[in-house]
Structure 1
Amino acid sequence: MTVFLLDQADKRLLQALARIGPIIIPSPRCLDQPSTGSYYIIADHESTVSPQDVVSWLDMGAEKVIVPLAWAKDLIGTIPASRLLLLLDAGNVSAVSDTVRNGVSGVLLKSPVIDLDLIASVSRFFIDSSVHVLSSATTPPSRSTIRELVGVGATLVLPTSHITLSASSVTQMNIADAFLAPVQSDRPDGLFPTVVSSSAQGGRVLGLVYSSAESVRESIITGRGVYQSRKHGLWRKGETSGATQDVISIRIDCDSDALQFNVIQHGSGFCHLNQPTCFGELSGLAALESTLQSRSVSAPEGSYTRRLFDDQELLRSKIMEEADELCRAETQEDIAFEVADLLYFVMTRCVAAGVSIVDIERSLEKKAKKVTRRSGNAKQQWSSKPPPVNPATIVAASQQTDPNSPIHMTTSDLAIITSDQRSRLLRRPVLRSDEMISKVKPIVDDVRIRGDAALLELTAKFDKAKLTSTIVLPPFSPESMQLETPVREAIDIAYANIRKFHQAQAEKSALVVETMPGVVCSRFARPIARVGLYVPGGTAILPSTALMLGIPAQVAGCKEIVLATPPRPDGSISPEVMYVAHLVGASALLKAGGAQAVSAMAYGTQTVPKVDKIFGPGNQWVTAAKMMVQNDTDALVSIDMPAGPSEVLVIADHTCRPAFVAADLLSQAEHGIDSQVVLIAVNLSPTELSTIEGEVDKQARALSRVDIVRQSVAKSIIVKASSIEEAIAFSNDYAPEHLILHVENAPDKVPSIDNAGSVFVGPYSPESCGDYASGTNHTLPTNGYARQFSGVNTLSFQKHITSQEITLDGLKELGPTVATLADCEGLQAHANAVRIRLHAN
């Protein structure tokens, strides 16, 4: 293996050298060490550095430091021999003592010429150590000379001024020619057997291929996996399949007749059978990482893995729990079991943060290179006696895991809590929008750049549906809308109610005001021309959301309505959603979900129409994508509102029916483990509260989604209030998505409600009716945004234009005022536009 001395290099050459290294860096340039690859630092006689500098270089990641003989005595015994090389002139070999020889791992021999006999004797003296040879010749040696050096146990050090990315010449050698000089193939075709391993999967072998001088040269220079097919010639991996490779390093084996490529594999995998390796599927940590990376995107709402990704506090607790259990384990079997559990949660933490096994290995390698060591003492928080456990924490934890434990909420009393505690009750879970946007950005950008091709690939990846087109245009086929009669009739009734309510919201005529004689101002509504409606789905059936978004778009008069929903694995859309798309007059149906659907509607593709505004709920991937595209001026698209987990706040007094209250709380709790459920109890006795909680427990156990409910209810709260005024004040501060009033004279309390997405008044107004068919819209602001946002309505699909018409008499009256104000602001052209008209008359 040739070693390269950095005496001059451009960026491309340095990147190429990092793939085949190591590189020797002169000490004055030590701050320019490469970010990747292996490197040594050489401190020659003229360098003004101290032993502390040597330690610092090694701590920063240098593999070895090359030092003059005069320095060796101060460093040997302090620096590990494996990290030191000796810098020698050819005539000074005899001055090296046994102590020095045993205290270093090799020598860099500076010689005017390459004297093979001298070098062979130096190799015999430094037995079991490496010998590197740096010649001061002005031209590079031949490839045969490099091979001869290897034959006597030495490695050539070649200055980078003698290296080129172009073809070899008298004064410079091509980088691949220098690297491959020691390699000799034993095959008739001259190809080199090449083992390809995955840097991202702990060095796991992906497959066996062949390389040529030409393919190696291109790989070194471009950093892409390029090999030599025995049948088809030069093979640029992934050129047609998209399963490309980034080359991290290329190494020569001990016999100099085979190569190893260490790569990061992209796409479906290395093998032509669309599997990760030519030897089957992944296993161990590599398989775990791959599974978690997939689950971070596709894990269903409510699943345990999705909870871990979404709830950082839960994940943190599990890591600490498993680490403690590992420390308590005694047998080999128990230790292995607990380590496996801990690794699962640790890898979940890594994947959630975008940290790969490669990143971990690099960190380990960096730590291993340090020669300074910490004391190794534990931090005080871990060495001292742990604080007593809060019994309430034990109850909450057991409630989540023990199916026999009661399902109940945590209670607080506004009369006795502090202002800080009250503020905490108003908080929602932290939405890490920056983290999510960074995750969806590659998806959004891929669709923006590659259009339909990316959309089809991502739909196959995330929705497991292989399509030839994602767009369905009307008229929709009758077969795609076949419904049972009761379902069709229910949708028709809901459609009629929702349309009636939203039609009433539409502005029928312009607003016209004469602000002064001869000056008439008006405002009139116009529909947003092109809108995109996102309807979550896939295996779920959500015609209600399609109704809630499609009807106001239809009533508002939007010219293009693009309805996007994830397809089922067979590529079809649920007939319920198809029927609603027909009812609302959708101009196109996009069979795609997630961030890719949002991107397609925001930017448009070859087949997907670009829209002006995007509506609809979705998971955090959809929400992040909507937030991202609305801030991109290239997209020129707006969104309806930010979104968060579903919420309900119920205010109940002595007139409430406990079974009704419990049912309303559970109707939101079943949405997901992050659902926000709040009960404000107005002067309810302990017995009355106990009755409500008993109903919650009884009704929850009868639900098919009881496991989700158990977790969301455990994080829900009961707030005791001493009056209806105090309860409404808390509700206004909380600004819930849904507010239900189970109180005496409930209609009289509505005027006091300042912040809520939608209000459900009285005992016979369940939130479910608003979700489906009463007429109001169920797309509502969450996460406290009811303070600033309205729910989706007909006006959401319209914009307002103002106009003014001024007569000559009106301008004579108004003009002087306008001119004076324009002069005040120094805008003479504005004033002139008025005066020129007045002077003309």
Structure 2
Amino acid sequence: MPAFVPLVDEDSPDAIKTLSRISPLLIPANSLEAVLKDAPEGTPYYVLGDHKDSANLDDIVSWLDSGAQKVVIPLSWASELVNALPSERIILLLDAANVTAVTDRLREGVSGVLIKTPAIDVELITSISRFFVGCSIFAMSTSAVAPSTSDIRQLKLAGASLVIPTSQLTVAEKDKSRLNIADAFLAPLISDRADGLFPTVVSSWSQGGKTLGLVYSSAASIKESVLTGRGVYQSRKHGLWRKGETSGATQDIVRIYLDCDTDCLEFSVIQHGAGFCHLERASCFGELSGLAALEFTLQSRLESAPEGSYTRRLFNDSDLLRAKIMEEADELCRASTKDEVAFEAADLIYFALTRCVSAGVTLADIERNLDKKAKKVTRRPGNAKPQWTSKPQQESKPTLSQQIPPPTDAPIRMRSSDLSSISKDERAQLLKRPVLKSDEMIAKVKPIVEAVRTRGDTALLELTAKFDKAPLSTPILRPPFSAQSMVIPDDVRNAIDIAYSNIRKFHAAQVDSAPLAIETTPGVVCSRFARPIARVGLYVPGGTAILPSTALMLGIPAQVAGCKEIVLATPPRPDGSVSPEVMYVAKLVGASAVLKAGGAQAVAALAYGTETVPKVDKIFGPGNQWVTAAKMLVQNDTDALVSIDMPAGPSEVLVIADRTANPAFVAADLLSQAEHGVDSQVVLVAVNLTSEHLASIELEVDKQANALSRVDIVRESIRKSIIVKASSVDEGVQFSNDYAPEHLILHIEKAKEIIPAITNAGSVFVGPFTPESCGDYASGTNHTLPTNGYARQFSGVNTQSFQKHITSQEISEAGLKELGPVVATLADCEGLQAHANAVRIRLKALETQP
């Protein structure tokens, strides 16, 4: 890590040139183009994202592809970008007060943390660094007062680097209000030599890092090198040694590096004149060899090769040089043995480097381009151009969304793969879900959310009229709800009542009502007790299907958990009313309000509250990408102080079927999820099924699908769905666990015995007479389940989702006498004296009691 990192906050080309020699620059995104225009080519830099803007993945990828080593992102961007970008390229920007808001997922998804504090506090930074184990730690004071060299030194000893605005840095010696750049670089250096000098390796920037010599530096020589950009060292006999001052073999400093122990240096230089060595050789360690020697020879031949020589011909005749490069490339491709490949590669490199030298391109230029390409986070497909292929190259398989839809009269079929014959990479592809462009969706919903946050009901009514086509005078309904709003057929009412009863029984049994109390040490009692989340928002979709079942699944656990305020949000119909089935459920679950709004505007109203809509503490419920993106956005806004149930994605089902499976049952279960939407994920794991058995299932899928009113939706989702052939139940279950489906249906012999092997699934449906539909509506389990593979980490919604747990402890005098010394010892170990004192002062009081 560098000794310090300059934050470019003012236009100062001279300072930027000086700083580029010793540290990466931290450049605000909005100043990137202007700063890089003034910076030397190849200057290492980080980009600082602006928290005032929304995260834009395309912009960040562009910064990284263009050469930024890392991107510093604010916490508000993190949930969208972490795991979408390489962790080693992300630094998280945090106010010290927000450290506790960082989840394990965010912490593991970044390589560094930049902590903003009002003043430099080494103890605080040290404490925070324990939380971010393995991360590079950067600290930045928001104070207008320039830091001292002592601040840099102490932070470096603590394993952190100080970020300093360039407005607080100077190249001037007498400017006491700002910190001299060279002094800042020198601050952490510590010599282990009696004479205080620093061993310094000098390497050639233009010759692939070839070592030129070993010299010594002093504080004075380093300072002059930093400020002038010329090679200046410390002769142990003659004092300051300005390289080339008498011989003309001067050096331009490109970069100065500190070693890991801050006791020696490397100067990467461009060497002019005869060379570095006093024997007029390029290096004190002998003549150049390999590529560096070839480059040196070609550069000298470009200047002095006689007319008629072969090298001169190559330089003068571009057609000849082009032909030789192509000839040698062809011979390299035809080489078969190790020696032949090496021989032909050497020829090709000779001619390729001749081409480079003739164009003024150095090995350093090539290496910079290699480094820049390595930094890219996007990659080209890598296909060869047609003229270089011996036969027409097969085009890359288009993504599912790019494939041409089959004609509507074509059979509705799934794609097939066999686990026994596919590669590891192909298996991994089967486990992938469609990429959700969350960055794009969040950018789209942000203006909607912001409008509701700032303009409340006015914006909410405008957006409801725009998106739901429903002009409203008020967005909210309060109980008692009118009888007219709940008029439904008797059979529907009866079905809802039965479903309500079953779901309530199951969820009431989940209530964590009895406190847990454990005596961990005699006299030390630790307890945990549950309390309901006070205010919850329940989002009930109303897009392509009306879902009163979702109102039941969310409202009942909220009701039995004891939530004081239950706000149910659902899109209104064009006349401004709400589905009577949903209204009836709202009454059953004791909803305190019904919000007539959908999409991102409903989520925003629940998160921030409006003049009429109560603000909630947690938002539940599925929805489309607009709803999901809005939920992700508000949960990361500290102004909202709202959490969400889980990440959401398209509906999923995975069916494991063996020889005992009824083809009609299996097909029906696949279609029950396929009809949710064109992006529904449907997987059939076929365990040793004969081709005839599989064909009968596919025939049933086609037959039943064509009888559905939502056949157009089913046709799209099924053609993206897959049949995975497995050789055993164990192999099928393993695939399912890796896939982690929302719904898992077991159409296999002795299905109940397989349950212990299931490790990842939202909900499991056991046996041929347990259709997923029962869980969706009325069996009693909850149908709000993790999708997109999140069943690896998340449970489905349950009663405890609406509760929070509080711990307590009560310690007697005897208990403190036994536990207190242990606590004080640990507090001393961590250097937290006040913690230890809080115990010892009590122990001392106990000692003085009669």
The equivalent of 1:753 in structure 2 is 758
The equivalent of 1:535 in structure 2 is 540
- Contact 1:399–1:714 under 8 Å retained in 2: no
- Contact 2:400–2:720 under 8 Å retained in 1: no
Whether 2:779 is the aligned partner of 1:774: answer yes
2:514 paired residue among 506, 509, 513: 509
Q: How does 1:97-116 map to 2 (within 5 A)?
A: none
User: Counterpart of 1:507 in 2: which secondary structure?
Assistant: coil
Note the C-alpha offset of 1:466: 0.7
Note the C-alpha offset of 1:404: 2.3
Whether 2:556 is the aligned partner of 1:548: answer no
User: Counterpart of 2:509 in 1: which secondary structure?
Assistant: helix
User: Counterpart of 1:678 in 2: which secondary structure?
Assistant: strand
The equivalent of 2:669 in structure 1 is 664
Whether 2:413 is the aligned partner of 1:408: answer yes
Report the Cα distance in structure 1 between the residues aligned to 2:746 and 2:760, rounded to whole angstroms: 14
Distance change in 2, residues 1:605/1:503 (3 Å): same
The equivalent of 2:826 in structure 1 is 821
Report the Cα distance in structure 2 between the residues aligned to 1:803 and 1:687, rounded to whole angstroms: 63
Report the Cα distance in structure 1 between the residues aligned to 2:391 and 2:452, rounded to whole angstroms: 51
User: Counterpart of 1:505 in 2: which secondary structure?
Assistant: coil
Q: How does 1:279-428 map to 2 (within 5 A)?
A: 387=392, 400-428=405-433
Distance change in 2, residues 1:482/1:820 (3 Å): same
Distance change in 2, residues 1:435/1:411 (3 Å): same
The equivalent of 1:489 in structure 2 is 494
The equivalent of 1:791 in structure 2 is 796
User: What amino acid sits opposite 1:500 in the alignment?
Assistant: K
Distance change in 2, residues 1:611/1:728 (3 Å): same
The equivalent of 1:562 in structure 2 is 567
Note the C-alpha offset of 1:724: 0.6
1:463 paired residue among 440, 465, 468: 468
Q: How does 1:170-189 map to 2 (within 5 A)?
A: none
Report the Cα distance in structure 2 between the residues aligned to 1:387 and 1:619, rounded to whole angstroms: 42
Report the Cα distance in structure 1 between the residues aligned to 2:457 and 2:396, rounded to whole angstroms: 55
User: What amino acid sits opposite 1:763 in the alignment?
Assistant: P
User: Counterpart of 1:661 in 2: which secondary structure?
Assistant: helix
2:438 paired residue among 425, 433, 441: 433
Report the Cα distance in structure 1 between the residues aligned to 2:393 and 2:400, rounded to whole angstroms: 14
RMSD: 2.4
Between stretches 782-791 and 665-674, larger displacement belongs to: 665-674
The equivalent of 1:734 in structure 2 is 739
Report the Cα distance in structure 2 between the residues aligned to 1:412 and 1:388, rounded to whole angstroms: 24
- Contact 2:386–2:393 under 8 Å retained in 1: no
Note the C-alpha offset of 1:441: 0.3
Report the Cα distance in structure 2 between the residues aligned to 1:758 and 1:806, rounded to whole angstroms: 42
Report the Cα distance in structure 1 between the residues aligned to 2:544 and 2:719, rounded to whole angstroms: 27
Whether 2:581 is the aligned partner of 1:576: answer yes
Whether 2:648 is the aligned partner of 1:643: answer yes
Distance change in 2, residues 1:413/1:620 (3 Å): same
User: Counterpart of 2:755 in 1: which secondary structure?
Assistant: helix
Report the Cα distance in structure 2 between the residues aligned to 1:440 and 1:392, rounded to whole angstroms: 32
Note the C-alpha offset of 1:831: 1.0
Note the C-alpha offset of 1:397: 9.1
Gaps of 5+ in 1: 1-28, 33-378
User: What amino acid sits opposite 2:844 in the alignment?
Assistant: H
Distance change in 2, residues 1:581/1:686 (3 Å): same
The equivalent of 1:141 in structure 2 is none
User: Counterpart of 1:425 in 2: which secondary structure?
Assistant: helix
Report the Cα distance in structure 1 between the residues aligned to 2:817 and 2:668, rounded to whole angstroms: 67
The equivalent of 1:697 in structure 2 is 702
Q: How does 1:574-653 map to 2 (within 5 A)?
A: 574-653=579-658
Report the Cα distance in structure 1 between the residues aligned to 2:446 and 2:401, rounded to whole angstroms: 37
Alignment deviations for residues 286-315 of structure 1 (CA, whole Å, 9 cap, x no partner):
xxxxxxxxxxxxxxxxxxxxxxxxxxxxxx
Identity percentage over the alignment?
76
The equivalent of 1:744 in structure 2 is 749
Report the Cα distance in structure 1 between the residues aligned to 2:588 and 2:745, rounded to whole angstroms: 31
Report the Cα distance in structure 1 between the residues aligned to 2:622 and 2:789, rounded to whole angstroms: 16
- Contact 1:497–1:773 under 8 Å retained in 2: yes
Gaps of 5+ in 2: 1-33, 38-383
Note the C-alpha offset of 1:540: 3.7
Whether 2:525 is the aligned partner of 1:520: answer yes
- Contact 1:399–1:405 under 8 Å retained in 2: no
- Contact 1:399–1:710 under 8 Å retained in 2: no
- Contact 1:522–1:803 under 8 Å retained in 2: yes
- Contact 1:463–1:569 under 8 Å retained in 2: yes
Note the C-alpha offset of 1:403: 2.2
Note the C-alpha offset of 1:629: 0.2
Please report the TM-score for the alignment, with normalisation by the length of structure 1: 0.54
User: Counterpart of 1:650 in 2: which secondary structure?
Assistant: strand
Report the Cα distance in structure 2 between the residues aligned to 1:397 and 1:693, rounded to whole angstroms: 24
- Contact 2:561–2:800 under 8 Å retained in 1: yes
Alignment deviations for residues 343-366 of structure 1 (CA, whole Å, 9 cap, x no partner):
xxxxxxxxxxxxxxxxxxxxxxxx
- Contact 2:386–2:392 under 8 Å retained in 1: no
Note the C-alpha offset of 1:471: 0.6
- Contact 2:546–2:579 under 8 Å retained in 1: yes
User: Counterpart of 2:559 in 1: which secondary structure?
Assistant: helix
Alignment deviations for residues 516-554 of structure 1 (CA, whole Å, 9 cap, x no partner):
110000100000000000001167421100000000000
Note the C-alpha offset of 1:711: 1.4
Q: How does 1:86-235 map to 2 (within 5 A)?
A: none
Between stretches 701-710 and 547-556, larger displacement belongs to: 701-710
Distance change in 2, residues 1:583/1:822 (3 Å): same
- Contact 1:521–1:802 under 8 Å retained in 2: yes
- Contact 1:532–1:614 under 8 Å retained in 2: yes
Alignment deviations for residues 49-84 of structure 1 (CA, whole Å, 9 cap, x no partner):
xxxxxxxxxxxxxxxxxxxxxxxxxxxxxxxxxxxx
